[in-house]
Amino acid sequence: MTDDAFGFSAARNRTADKLKNIQPSGGPPAPATLDAVDAAGESLGFKSREGEGALRPAGRRREIGPTLAINTRAPERVAIPFIKFCEENRYSYWEGIEELMKRAGLR
């Protein structure tokens, strides 16, 4: 009895030959240079956030020295006006506490 009792060997050989003939394509296209990407973005109105003209926005941070975390629960009648006071005066919470301490003469 032969190994190919059902007559599939010819088809198997043709498939194997077809698979052997498959060659990879040329590969993906070369990536665009960053200059080309930047030029395309600028032509569409996008501005680069990098480079010579990009500046860090001036922040309100200042050196405060060592810190200590204070966590507190405050009644709404106290917390809401305090938060509003800080927002209106553009204070962080610690700056708001410091300002209130100055006004109370505790500094």
For the ranges 50-59, 60-69, 92-101, the lowest mean pLDDT is seen at 50-59
| Residue with the larger pLDDT of the pair 61 and 105 | 105
Q: For residues 107 and 92, what is the distance between their CA atoms, to the nearest angstrom?
A: 18
pTM confidence score: 0.43
Q: Are 93 and 86 in contact (CB under 8 A)?
A: yes
Percent of the chain with pLDDT over 70: 85
Domain definitions of the chain by residue range: 74-107
φ/ψ of 42, rounded to 5, equals -65, -35
Tens-digit pLDDT profile for residues 16-43? 888 888 888 888 888 888 888 888 889 9
Which residues does 48 contact at the CB level (< 8 Å), separation at least 6? 38, 41, 42, 54
